Structure 1
Amino acid sequence: MTQTTTLIIGGSSGMGLAAARQLVAKGQHVTLVGSSTAKLDGAKAELGASTETQQVNLRNAAEVEALIEEIKTSDKHIVGLINAAGTFSPKPFLEHGFEDYDSYMDLNRATFFITQAVAENMKANGSGSIVNIGSMWAKQAVRATPSSAYSMAKAGLHSLTQHLAMELAAHGIRVNAVSPAVVVTPIYGAFIDPDQIEDTLTSGFDAFHPIGRVGRPEDVANTITHLLSDDASWVTGAVWDVDGGVMAGLV
């Protein structure tokens, strides 16, 4: 019997790891891809034997190509793909340089071609579900966090979600995305002291959300795992706001 797995790109922390916990709790096998060996080892120790890990720097073309080749030659059926890798470092548009821009676009390039390889695997096996983690910033600008390049990259991911949903539906593959607002994850470590992320976000952004609080990784993972599951079998091409009500209207 062919082994099945859900591949989680950016699965060693944050929303990717939260989704992995939920999938493993349901008895599913997961494969985590991340850039930090220490974080991957910690996730493996926590999640146990139903978890495989692979260290890949998504900004390194050779490492991405090696991962793609491994996907293409895998004898596993990749039943789910979560594209959770990300970086976030707000900077005014007029101060952006090439490196700032490339930090986001390199991730999109890796996501595009990894997803292509996974879709071929899913097509060969007749089914699959893909969930991309987009962002509220792709839909709405926030003065306090100027994020033009980041938002451009995430808007592209939202658009890719809809295009792939149309193209891959005939192969039994569903493609959706979640669009979170402020969620307490390590991604903010690029400009906030990692030990201060939760206090900084809760004090600064709880009131930004109509529901009254920032999100936690589990809040978004609940929707990700639902979209992966057969319970969402009639949902494809959707970009779901999981944002504490931000897109409904600011308080």
Structure 2
Amino acid sequence: MSLAGKVVIVTGASSGIGAATAVEFAKQGAKVALVGRNETNLKESEEACKKANNKVEIFAIIADVTVDAERIVKETVDKLGQLDVLVNNAGIADTGHILDIEVEQFDRILNTNLRAVFLLTKYAAPHLIKTQGNIVNVSSVAGLRSFPGISSYCTSKAALDQFTRCIALDLAPHKVRVNAVNPGVIITDIHKRMGMTEEQYAKYLEDCKATHALGRVGEAKEVADSIVFLASDKSSFITGATLPIDGGRHAMCPR
């Protein structure tokens, strides 16, 4: 994959897709800056990366992407010497009908899922230009399709997809690629953080067999593998792409 020795920032690296992505980069020999708010979980991710490859340098940064974007980039470059890949994975979700949700939800979700990505991209871009590196944004099938009850989340991811395409064009003359992955339902803890009980989550996963063409939900590693591919030289002629990793959900329509 030509990622050995590359320096990668992965936000939201303390769990789920972010943690799996960090491990896959470590396997490829990359130096990984793990960014997250939960110190205990971040430490577990750090140990998982070292277990996957004890020869690479792993750097944990306890930070909130909504307020610490500049510090995240600066500490990574100061510690690891450069920046080759930025993976904007940190994200949040919440539910609610437009008649019930407060503006606070909209602002909170857009602040994390979009504004923080803008800030990290802005601060990382000069360093990525130096290395002719790239950016991979973690969006969602919710950016490609519309779903009731999660309007703030869908809006944030649709905006992220457009941001991905626009910044890809901005940075293309500098030989910096920008792409996104759009996962479907992936087994992580995001739904439980949104309030689902164990029983509700089990039923939801069962129902998802009918909403994903391949008849199942996805694993975090399946998304991580695609992120690593987009970050590597194997995708050297791909930029401005939004790649569904969703078992075909984006192509489905109710009948």
Q: TM-score, normalised by structure 1?
A: 0.89
List runs of 5+ in structure 2 lacking aligned partners: none
Q: Does 1:201 align with 2:201?
A: no
CA distance in 2, matches of 1:19, 1:230: 17
Specify the alignment match of 1:56 in structure 2.
63
Whole-angstrom CA distance in 2 between matches of 1:113 and 1:74: 20
Query: Which amino acid is the alignment partner of residue 222 of structure 1?
Result: D
2:83 is paired with a residue whose SS is: strand
Contact persistence 1:215–1:244 (CA under 8 A): yes
Does structure 1 residue 96 correspond to structure 2 residue 98? no
Does the residue aligned with 2:60 lie in a helix, a strand or coil? strand
Greater than 4 Å deviation, 4+ residue runs: 71-75, 193-198
Check conservation: 1:71, 1:117, Cα contact below 8 A: no
Corresponding residue for residue 47 of structure 2:
45
The more displaced of 231-240 and 182-191 is: 182-191
Shift of 1:239: 0.5
Shift of 1:198: 5.7
Q: Decide which moves more: 220-229 or 63-72.
A: 63-72
Alignment of 1:1-251 (within 5 A): 4-48=6-50, 50-59=57-66, 61=67, 63-70=68-75, 76-107=81-112, 108-125=114-131, 127-143=132-148, 146-193=149-196, 199-250=202-253
Distance 1:244 1:134 in 2: 15
* Contact 1:4/1:76, CA 8 A, preserved across alignment: no
Q: Percent identity?
A: 29
Kindly state the Cα deviation for residue 250 of structure 1 after the two structures are TM-superposed: 3.8
In 2, are the aligned partners of 1:188 and 1:197 still within 8 Å (CA)? no
Asked if the contact 1:179/1:241 (under 8 Å) is kept, the reply is: yes
After alignment, is 46-55 or 7-16 more displaced?
46-55
In structure 2, distance between residues paired with 1:68 and 1:128: 14
Q: One-letter code of the match for 2:111?
A: D
2:19 partner SS: helix
Residue 12 of structure 1 aligns to a residue whose secondary structure is: coil
Task: Tell me how far 1:82 sits from its aligned partner.
Answer: 0.7
Q: How far off its partner does 1:157 sit? A: 0.6
Which amino acid in the other structure matches residue 233 of structure 1? S
CA contact (8 A) 1:162 1:237 kept: yes
**Retained in 2: the 8 A contact 1:86–1:187?**
no
Deviations 1:141-191 (A, max 9, x none): 224xx1111111111110111111111111121000011111111111223
Which amino acid counterpart does residue 223 of structure 1 have in structure 2? S
C-alpha spacing 1:215/1:198, structure 2 compared with 1 (3 Å): farther
Across the two proteins, how many residue pairs are aligned to each other? 244
How far apart are residue 118 of structure 1 and its match?
1.1
Label 1:196 to 1:112 Cα distance change in 2 as closer, same or farther (>3 A).
farther
Return the alpha-carbon distance in structure 2 between the equivalents of residues 121 and 177 of structure 1: 20
Cα distance between partner residues in 2 of 1:116 and 1:74: 20
- More deviation, 188-197/26-35: 188-197
